[in-house]
Amino acid sequence: MSATARRSARKYPASAPYLFIAPFFVLFVPFGAGSVLLALGISFLDWPLGQPPEFAGFDKFATVLDDPLFGKAMGNTLYMLVGFLLALLPLCLFVAVLLKQLRRRTANLVQVVIFAPITMSLIAVALVFDLLYNERVGFVNNVLDLVGVGPVPFLTDADLAPWSIIALRIWRVLGYYAVILYAGLQSIPDEYYEAAQLDGAGAWQRFRHVTFPLLKPVTLFVLVASSIAAWELFAEVQVLTDGGPARSTLTAVMYIFGASFEQFDLGKGAAASVLLAAAIIVSTAVASRLLRSDDRA
């Protein structure tokens, strides 16, 4: 074969990509996609506990959209999501860049420490934060008391509780996302920085023109992963505040959980899930669009 012929032909066997993706899909089709489609199907059903399901069209969607609690739950979730992301993203970028500047040995140690919180079981997290947040014997309130502030009702005040949850979540995942970003930073060749330094670029300029653009794929991943996690906030809230006080921390997934497993209305729960999924898809699309359009600028 001549060189030109080889170039015009495909460089690899046509089956290659399918062979690569096949093992993943062997798992994904039944356990991932299959469940998603079933869930989607359930949202169109009226399926009382233990009885055969009946087709209900969009009835369940109407029920959910009519329910003021669903609006409240979505609103709370969005509110906490925005607060969470606005604090998390700059913080974990900052920590990742900082890690990169440390000696590798120090960086490794710091990484393990900041990463440790996510390995802690949620029940234990709840206990520790309960001990820290407690109005009487909480460490934080006792420190605040020394400077004459408080006691601050971290979890029992409707305005403060969402922020106390956000703080806990940031503590829990900051190191995790920072380490993922840091791993991404490791793939950026040092030469780029050396070149930028030779050009006289300052720390911010190096971040702006070298780190950020080259880190974009990983940043996008962190943004998508953390925002999906924020949309699906559930366990922390359930353990610490149970959605209260006065429903100030009632989240969308709590609503879904309640509909499915407390009111036994699986159709309603699935319909709410589909609506939440739509919100997640839209916001993820917007987020990736934002990061991409930035690329062109």
**Does residue 88 bind other proteins (CB under 8 A)?**
no
What 3-state DSSP class applies to 153?
Answer: coil
Under rule CB under 8 A, residue 297 binds other proteins: no
Using DSSP's 3-state secondary structure scheme, residue 54 falls into strand
Sign (positive/negative) of CA torsion 144, 150, 156, 162?
A: negative
**Dist. CA 252–CA 113, nearest whole Å:** 32
CB of 5 to other proteins, least distance (A): 15
- 183 near other proteins, rule: CB under 8 A: yes
User: From CA 13, how far away is CA 4, in angstroms rounded?
Assistant: 17
User: Which amino acid, residue 115?
Assistant: F
Q: What share of the chain is helix, strand, coil (3-state, %, to 5)?
A: 75, 0, 25
100 three-class SS: helix
Q: How far is the CB of 51 from other proteins (least distance, A)?
A: 8
Whether 278 and 68 have beta carbons less than 8 Å apart is answered as no
Number of residues located near other proteins, criterion CB under 8 A: 137
Nearer to other proteins, 5 or 14 (CB): 14
Write the binding mask 37 to 56 for other proteins: x where contact by CB under 8 A, - elsewhere: xxxxxx-xx-xxxx-xx-x-
Residue span 222-261 as binding mask against other proteins, x where in contact by CB under 8 A, dash where not: --xx--x--xx-xx-----xxxxxxx----xx--xxx-xx
DSSP code at position 31: I
Stretch that binds other proteins, among 78-86, 111-119, 204-212 (CB under 8 A): 111-119
Q: How far apart are CA 39 and CA 24, in angstroms?
A: 21
Binding to other proteins in span 269-288, by CB under 8 A: 269-270, 273-274, 276-278, 280-281, 284-285
Give the binding range for other proteins (CB under 8 A) out of 25-33, 81-89, 205-213.
25-33
Question: Does the protein bind other proteins through residue 134 (CB under 8 A)?
Answer: yes
Q: Does position 11 bind other proteins by CB under 8 A?
A: yes
98 is a contact residue toward other proteins (CB under 8 A):
yes
For residue 209, the surrounding DSSP H or E stretch is none
Considering the rule CB under 8 A, would residue 262 count as an interface residue with other proteins?
A: yes
Nearest Cα to 92, choosing from 197, 7, 175?
175
Supply the minimum distance, in Å, between the C-beta of residue 163 and other proteins.
16
CB of 86 to other proteins, least distance (A): 18
